[in-house]
Structures are given as C-alpha cells and as structure tokens.
Amino acid sequence: MDVKASGLRGLVFDKDGTLFDFNATWGAWARRVLEVETQDDPDRLVPLAEALGYDLEAERFHPHSLVIASTAEETARAAMPYLAETSVETLLGRWNRLAAEAPQVAAAPLVPLLQRFRQHGLALGVATNDAETPARSHLRAEGVEDMFDFIAGYDSGYGGKPAAGQLLGFCQAMNIAPEECAMVGDSTHDLHAGRAAGMVCVAVLTGVAETAELAPHADVVLPSIAALPEWLGLPVA
C-alpha cells in the first residue's frame, strides 16, 4: 500500500507506548515517584503499586494497568486512597510537573521519521490521554513539537480516548475526512477511538499490550512506528 493508493492524508499518534516506548520511559520513573509519594512505606507503597498495576520488582507496568490507557486524572484518582494527599488537583499538578521532566525513550528516531511523513504530504497529530502541557514538553525535548499540526491531551477540550473527540478535532482542524486518516496506538483505547472516529486503525507493540489483545481491534499490527513507512509504501529514504 502506498499513501496515494491508500487515500490516507493524515496520521494521528498516541504518545506513550507509541511515539515513546512505554516501560522504557515510565518504568523506573514510576517507582521513584511512588516511593516519594508513600515515603517508601511498604504498607502504602505495595497496595498503591497493585492498584495502579505496577510491578515493583520488575519496575514495569502490567499489561492491564489502568495507567496504560487512562487519563492522568483517572490515574490520580485511583491513587488517592493510598496517599496522604487530599486534593486530586494538587496531586495531578505535581505529577504533571514531574512527568514533564521525565526523560523519554523514543520508539524510533522521530525527527527523520516525521520528516518523511511530512515530505509526502501527510498531516500529523498527537492524541494522548496525558495532559497537553507535559505532552508538549516531551515532544519539544525530542525536537518534534513543531512537526505536529495538532496536539491534544485529555484536558485540551476534546475529551480523552476511547472517545473519538480528539481524533475528530484533528480532522476538523486539518479539513480531512476521518476515513482519510489512520490512528496509530498501542492500546485498545487508541484503537477503539480510531474505530469510533471512522479511521484506519494501526496498532504498535511498543506499549505493553501484545498482538493477541490488539489484533482484533486493528487493521494492522506493526512492531513499532518505524515500520510505518514500509506499510505506507513510502520510497526508501
């Protein structure tokens, strides 16, 4: 399939687990944050980790962790019963500030990859259940914020996934029909949002979900975004 033959004019990417390898980025970072929040008290740390679907020994999130696809606010609310903090807004603000500074591990070299897409006339967007401010910080640190035509977090006014609001917002902003776009993501939330919007659904395996979970909801499953140019039939760079 090539871009012209496919009729695709736009690509919308999830961020964590798609543009950035999920556990490589957030695994060790999450352990440090949870230890600080609980003052490393095992009576609070262990149940908090269990509630968030986090493996303290392996420093990885379990495949069905609510953190994988939930919004940052949903994750903060789930953590509240195990913390001394009494305000979801305060906790969320603190976590967003810490998350904005977390070093990201790209799933593929992003600058040359995104340049190839743009050179072939594809509009590019990001739809994440992270907040918009840390999402922009992560993209800026990688040198790619300005390469996206549209960036939406769960707090950008379009809602969060698995609803289709962010994706339809991209289509409206770019004046592109949903069927001319592909949603690229690592979770069923991403794929459900893409399907609800009427987009082609592309799953990647740089999150924690495996092929068996993603394939029933995707039009294609790729190892990572690095495989997109070949799937799209782009000329060799």
- The residue type found at 24 is A
Name the residue range of residue 54's domain: 23-100
Q: Are residues 90 and 112 in the same domain?
A: no
Asked whether residue 212 is assigned to any structural domain, the reply reads yes
Asked whether residue 87 is assigned to any structural domain, the reply reads yes
Asked whether residue 39 is assigned to any structural domain, the reply reads yes
Q: Are residues 94 and 127 in the same domain?
A: no
d(CA 210, CA 203): 10
Identify the residue whose tokens are 């990885």: 60
Domain end position, chosen among 54, 75, 100: 100
Q: Are residues 91 and 112 in the same domain?
A: no
Buried b / exposed e along 11-30 (16+ C-beta atoms within 10 A): bbbbbbbbbbbbbebbbebb
Domain end position, chosen among 76, 100, 124: 100
Q: Are residues 51 and 91 in the same domain?
A: yes
User: What tens digit of pLDDT does each residue of 130-159 get?
Assistant: 999 999 999 999 999 999 999 999 999 999
pTM over 0.85: yes
Q: What is the mean pLDDT of residues 57-63?
A: 92
Q: Are residues 137 and 205 in the same domain?
A: yes
Name which of 54-58, 63-67, 144-148 the model is least confident about.
63-67
Asked whether residue 237 is assigned to any structural domain, the reply reads no
5 has pLDDT over 60: no
Asked whether residue 80 is assigned to any structural domain, the reply reads yes
User: What tens digit of pLDDT does each residue of 94-109 get?
Assistant: 998 888 888 899 999 9
Asked whether residue 33 is assigned to any structural domain, the reply reads yes
Q: Are residues 136 and 36 in the same domain?
A: no
Residue 55 pLDDT class (50, 70, 90 cuts): very high
Residue 148 sits in a domain whose CATH number is 3.40.50.1000
Asked whether residue 76 is assigned to any structural domain, the reply reads yes
Residue 111 pLDDT class (50, 70, 90 cuts): very high
Q: Are residues 123 and 210 in the same domain?
A: yes
Domain total for the chain? 2
Tell me which residue of 129, 185, 171, 137 sits closest to 154, measured CA to CA: 129
CA triple 24-30-36, angle to 5 deg:
150
Asked whether residue 73 is assigned to any structural domain, the reply reads yes
Mean pLDDT of the chain: 93
Q: Are residues 72 and 160 in the same domain?
A: no
The torsion defined by the Cα of 153, 136, 176 and 219, in degrees rounded to 10, comes to -70
Q: Specify the 3-state DSSP secondary structure of 167.
A: helix
Tell me which residue of 142, 147, 133 sits closest to 100, measured CA to CA: 133
Domain end position, chosen among 71, 100, 129: 100
